[in-house]
Structure 1
């Protein structure tokens, strides 16, 4: 099959030799030929890169969909956060007022107890002084 193809193209068994003659020996290339080669390579590249650009656009579309999903999730989370902050603020204010009232009541009770202890203190001091005097008299009587 390969020999048949060579026959069709006329290259079988080295009949025609090389189809391109090397031009490096001929001398330096002109800038116009170099520019023309670059232009033709650029055309080849753009035709070859077309499928890659299509896949790039699908990747970009997928990324845009992901961004939209994440944006919607962010908005939902922000809304829920704000709602929870409102609930917490109400709870904290009520709780703070309740705690302050409770602490105030506790301080009032503690104040009453301290004041009653202060009122009892002189009486306790006089009782302790009387007991000490009685003990002193007892110790002197034993001597």
Structure 2
């Protein structure tokens, strides 16, 4: 059995994150010691590592919840898991497209800047007027 601190260290996750995952149902409620300390079995570490890795890959919490539910039933088809992963791939590719447009716009702004005074600064001018942008990137910052 692991305490919450040891679980967090082993999984590379902060204690408040573990508590949050418990609160939203990604991790089951742990048993408590006589001193009311949370105690986690090895399975909690495996589940937490799964959640952390899925988060690193950009999966939203609802998709992770669905994937965990699927992983709890190992004898069924993996078609649903594949569909979730495909959806994440589509979303990731869309973000990459938006980020490339953002990158191009930032490069264009910097190339057009004469590096003079702020009153002539192309960066300030473009940031102040989205119509001066050459690319659509309004959602690029939403990750």
* TM-score scaled by length of structure 2: 0.28
Select the structure that is richer in helix: 1
* Structure showing greater relative contact order (alpha-carbon pairs closer than 8 Å, 6 or more residues apart): 2
* TM-score scaled by length of structure 1: 0.28
